[in-house]
């Protein structure tokens, strides 16, 4: 294997450091072969790329840790935080509560709690750009120059979308002559709350939550659905 180390070093002695900020190595010359130079350049690019990948990985891990810590804080607050539904002090039934001149709610001049940070929600980036005509000056037609960094703003949205589950059951036919085996064997069907119903379990869950948890009025279709559920349960 050929040696790719430098062939020779200059014999010049280190000169006196005259300039401010100069180093002793800036006065010394090193002679390398072309192969050694290419190898050192390749190694420098390789380790630089490895460093950039590690930095990206570290940033991703830090973001994941921050999201998990935000989830832990939110769950801890829900579990051990103060509950507004509970009374701060108990009163007897026969003891009238003292009248307080203080009104309920936030008092005038008090410091608010600010906006809630929703760090646990997923972020979907939406890029909005100008049209081709709007990217030029309306007077002279000169193109606008890109400004470094976009202007960012956030909005919290709720995206609920119904979808159709298209279930494909694989079928097989037997390759033997056994009598007790059917000619075509099909995979079992997907579980349904009501047999042969076109609505899945998630639809019935949404209907039950709207009716009994949130107290929302149900329409005709939901009433029919509830009657179907009652009939299936009674049978």
Report, as an integer, the average pLDDT of 77-106: 65
Residue whose structure tokens are 């039934």: 93
Q: Of the spans 37-51, 156-170, 180-194, which averages the highest pLDDT?
A: 37-51
CA distances from 124 to 45, 67, 106, 158, 159 (A): 34, 15, 34, 12, 11
Helices (H), 34-155: 34-80
Render the burial of 53-67: b for 16+ CB within 10 Å, e for the rest: eeeeeeeeeeeeeee
Report, as an integer, the average pLDDT of 69-97: 70
HSE-CB for 115 with a 13 A CA cutoff: 6
Q: What is the pLDDT of residue 43?
A: 93
Using CB atoms within 10 Å of the CB of residue 208, give its burial: 0 to 12 exposed, 13 to 18 middle, 19+ buried: middle
Task: Give first-to-last CA distance, the chain, whole Å.
Answer: 85
176 versus 106: which is more confidently predicted? 176
Q: What is the pLDDT of residue 143?
A: 87
HSE-CB for 56 with a 13 A CA cutoff: 6
Considering only 13-17, 37-41, 71-75, 216-220, which range has the smallest mean pLDDT? Answer: 13-17
H or E element that contains 228 = helix 220-234
Tokens (6 digits) for 20 = 């401010």
Distance CA 52, CA 68 (A): 24
Q: What is the pLDDT of residue 199?
A: 83
Is 8 strand, coil or helix? strand
Distance of CA 112 to the CA centre of its chain: 29
Single out the residue of 150, 221, 225 nearest to residue 193, CA to CA. 225
Distance CA 136, CA 59 (A): 37
Tell whether the model's pLDDT for residue 22 goes beyond 60: yes
Tokens (6 digits) for 110 = 């008090």
The average confidence (pLDDT) of the chain is 76
């Amino acid at each position: 294997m050929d040696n790719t180390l430098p062939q020779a070093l200059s014999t010049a002695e280190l000169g006196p450091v005259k300039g401010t900020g100069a180093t002793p190595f800036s006065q010394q010359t090193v002679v390398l072969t072309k192969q050694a130079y290419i190898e050192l350049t390749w190694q420098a690019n390789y380790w630089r790329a490895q460093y950039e990948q590690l930095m990206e990985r570290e940033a991703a891990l830090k973001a994941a840790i921050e999201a998990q810590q935000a989830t832990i804080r939110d769950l801890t607050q829900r579990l051990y935080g103060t509950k507004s539904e509970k009374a701060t002090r108990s009163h007897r039934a026969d003891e009238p509560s003292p009248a307080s001149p203080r009104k309920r709610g936030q008092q005038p001049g008090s410091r608010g709690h600010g906006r809630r940070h929703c760090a646990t929600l997923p972020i979907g980036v939406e890029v909005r750009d100008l049209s081709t005509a709007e990217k030029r000056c309306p007077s002279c037609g000169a193109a606008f120059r890109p400004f470094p960094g976009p202007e960012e703003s956030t909005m919290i949205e709720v995206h609920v979308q119904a979808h159709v589950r298209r279930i494909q059951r694989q079928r097989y036919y037997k390759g033997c002559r056994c009598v007790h085996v059917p000619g075509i064997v099909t995979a079992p069907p997907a579980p349904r709350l009501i047999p042969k119903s076109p609505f899945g379990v998630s639809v019935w869950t949404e209907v039950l939550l709207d009716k009994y948890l949130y107290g929302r009025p149900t329409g005709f279709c939901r009433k029919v659905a509830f009657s179907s559920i009652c009939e299936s349960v009674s049978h």
